[in-house]
Amino acid sequence: MTEVSQTTTALPHADTDTDPLHYWIMAGIAALVIAAPFLVYPFFAMQIMLFAVFALAFNLLLGFGGLLSFGHAAFLGWSSYVAAHSAKVFGFTPELAIFAGTATAMVLGAVFGWLAIRRQGIYFAMITLALAQMAYFVALQAEFTGGEDGIQGVPRGELFGLIDLDSDMTMYWLVALVFLGSMAFIYRVIHSPFGQVLQAIRENETRATSLGYETARYKLIVFVLSATLSGLAGSTKAIAFQIASLTDVHWAMSGEVVLMTLVGGMGTVFGPIVGASVMVVMQNTLAHLGAWIVIVQGTIFVVVVLVFREGIVGMLSKWLKRSL
């Protein structure tokens, strides 16, 4: 029995056509990012932007690569541990700490990807989940991660030794730069020849192979890219919020990023940003519900999978008859 059946309906069609509308939307998002700190609490906006980077990175893999990773928390969590530790203990400047965290996620992504692309479909998901659980146990036992307490009081430091990030507004602009840069980068990747080949592999791997593409190599590259960008989100998060904890490396976080992408619309360019915003807003407004939040999340999973598989942006895109 083949693991990925070609006869069943595939994941939603990922559109990789360029459209001037996309540039307008990105300009709109940039304007929103500039206006946000004057309208909402900067912390809140930073949280949305960093989770949006995480979800964008995840969607690059799932929506455009067709690979469902259930272990992305490992990249987010481990990069934030390394960034926090190198800033706090080694005294790295923030850009170096972020670089160190991102590089860690890249290496981890290369190892996970190298192992996981040997299998397909649900096995791929199970392997990434199992490897991430191993990364979780290592984080739980390692001395430097601080176990249940995490690494607290991470200094934000001075960017390039020049710009003091202690003020929330300065920090906000750095996060905004990371977010907008990642969005533009991912947009470029999706619409590059590499992105086109990825889509071909996702639609029909056998045919892509027969056309002479080394599909394994493409899958590994997109996996490492996705892990690296998740690491960028994780390490920036550690610096911005001055904490690295077990929450970010736990399997529940891997589930959350799947949910963000699903809600927003997998395989759409802007869906993950919408999905991350929705989930962060929801978590902040429903925080008082305590344990119920997991039930709410589970219910959203069920409802979205059963009746709303396109997600918010996917539905908008269908309605406008344009790829978004």
Partner 1 sequence: MLELIGISTYSLFGQLLVGLINGAFYAILSLGLAVIFGLLNIINFTHGAQYMMGAFAAWMMLNYLGMGYWPALVAGPVIVALTGIAIERSMISKLYRVDHLYGLLLTFGIGLIITGIFRNYYGSAGLPYPVPDVFQGGIDLGFMYLPVYRLWVICASALICLATWLVIEKTKLGAYLRAATENPSLVEAFGINVPRLMTLTYGFGAWLAAMAGVLAAPMYSVNPNMGIDLLIVVFAVVVIGGMGSIAGAIVTGFALGLIEGLTKVFYPEASSTVIFVVMAIVLLVRPAGLFGKVA
Q: Which residues bind partner 1 (CB under 8 A)?
A: 1-5, 8-11, 68, 115-116, 118-123, 125-127, 129-131, 133-134, 137-138, 141, 251, 255, 258, 262, 290-295, 297-302, 305-306, 309
Least gap, CB of 83 to partner 1 (angstroms): 23
Q: Does the CA dihedral 55-59-135-176 come out positive or negative?
A: negative
Residue 129 or 224: which CB sits closer to partner 1? 129
Residue 66 or 234: which CB sits closer to partner 1? 66
Residue 171 or 263: which CB sits closer to partner 1? 263
With both helix axes pointing from N to C terminus, report the angle between 271-285 and 311-320 in degrees, rounded to the nearest 10: 130
With both helix axes pointing from N to C terminus, report the angle between 168-190 and 215-241 in degrees, rounded to the nearest 10: 170
Least gap, CB of 126 to partner 1 (angstroms): 4
Least gap, CB of 102 to partner 1 (angstroms): 23
- Residue 104's φ and ψ, nearest 5 degrees, are -60, -45
Residue 33 or 131: which CB sits closer to partner 1? 131
**Rounded distance, CA 244 to CA 155, Å?**
12
**Rounded distance, CA 199 to CA 276, Å?**
24
Least gap, CB of 5 to partner 1 (angstroms): 7
- Nearest to 82, CA basis, from 244, 200, 258: 244
Residue 1 or 39: which CB sits closer to partner 1? 1
Question: Which tokens sit at 62?
Answer: 């799932």
Buried b (16+ CB within 10 A) or exposed e, 130-165: ebbbebbeebeeeeebbeeebbeebbbbebeeebeb
What are the residues whose beta carbons fall under 8 Å from the beta carbon of 12, sequence distance 6 or more? 265, 266, 267, 309, 310, 314
Residues 208 and 215 sit within 8 Å (Cβ to Cβ): yes
Least gap, CB of 130 to partner 1 (angstroms): 4
Least gap, CB of 90 to partner 1 (angstroms): 25
Please give the angle made by the CA atoms of 51, 300 and 124, to the nearest 5 degrees: 65
Q: Please report, for residues 30, 234, 260, the alpha-carbon distance to residue 272 in angstroms, rounded to integers and kept in the order given.
A: 16, 16, 6
Least gap, CB of 72 to partner 1 (angstroms): 14
Least gap, CB of 231 to partner 1 (angstroms): 20
Residue 44 or 301: which CB sits closer to partner 1? 301
Residue 11 or 281: which CB sits closer to partner 1? 11
Residue 181 or 298: which CB sits closer to partner 1? 298
With both helix axes pointing from N to C terminus, report the angle between 251-264 and 121-141 in degrees, rounded to the nearest 10: 140
